[in-house]
Amino acid sequence: MTTKADMTIAPPVRQEIETRLDRIEAEHGVRLLLAVESGSRAWGFPSPDSDYDVRFLYVRPRDWYLSLAPGRDVIETPIEDEIDLNGWDVRKALTLLLKSNAVVSEWMLSPIRYRTDDPFIARLAELADELLDPRAIAYHYARSGKLAADRWLDGEGDVPVKKYFYALRPALAIRAIRLNPAARPPMNLQALVEAKARTSERANGTRLPEIDALIRGELERAGELPARKLRDRFVDRANQLFLELVNP
């Protein structure tokens, strides 16, 4: 089903991305399970000069996983024509998900799809919901937010719009999971960031003291979130999902 967010990708760009995804499957001998937009376009605040950050999950034939010396668990391609296209092996994704990795979660929540999800993704999302560790997710966003706000947040003067919003988004994600620790934070923040859509990422923007305070405050509150200890049944379930995928 085509969504409103999907329609923000120009048809020629979408066609080129789909062609490159087909090429990756053919050249690497993999099957794509998920292919989404992961950057500012998916977050809801692209700039006129934003790249297309295409991310995907894939599975290889069973025998590849039985090798004593397995190959790399990522596929990376150079950025061409503003298209940044990279993906993870599903075993890597499952391993990281068991640690409440927020990156895997975000990919599954992206509102922009370049492929129809494999049925496996619905089961992966269900697992992600059940093993959610609010504190681990919050710490992930706190780290990324502090990195984005490095040096400028406690200073004075205008800052590049890109830096401002790259610090604001993780701060709002922490707030979202504080308000509802049982749900993974939403990815799209369109209603909060309309200004960025009209501004180059390299342009400076006037800072708002209230927003600065929100960013600073939320990034320091990650430790307030409840922590959940990983239970063995989640490891077993993840392993079973993987085995069912590679042994159809």
Q: How confident is the model at residue 24 (pLDDT cuts 50, 70, 90)?
A: very high
pLDDT of 206 reads 65
Delimit the domains of the chain by residue range. Answer: 6-131+230-246, 134-224
Query: Does pLDDT of 20 surpass 90?
Result: yes
User: Which segment of 3-7, 41-45, 157-161, 205-209 scores lowest on mean pLDDT?
Assistant: 3-7
Q: Please state the rounded mean pLDDT for residues 72-81.
A: 94
Query: Does pLDDT of 143 surpass 80?
Result: yes
Q: Please state the rounded mean pLDDT for residues 37-56.
A: 86
Task: Encode 137-161: b = buried (16+ Cβ within 10 Å), e = exposed.
Answer: bbbbbbebbbebbeebbeeeeebbb
pLDDT of 149 reads 85
pLDDT of 192 reads 39
pLDDT averaged over every residue in the chain: 86
pLDDT of 197 reads 40
Give domain 6-131+230-246's CATH number out of 1.10.10, 3.30.460, 3.10.620, 3.90.320.
3.30.460
Query: Does pLDDT of 153 surpass 70?
Result: yes
Query: Does pLDDT of 204 surpass 80?
Result: no
Whole-structure pTM value:
0.85
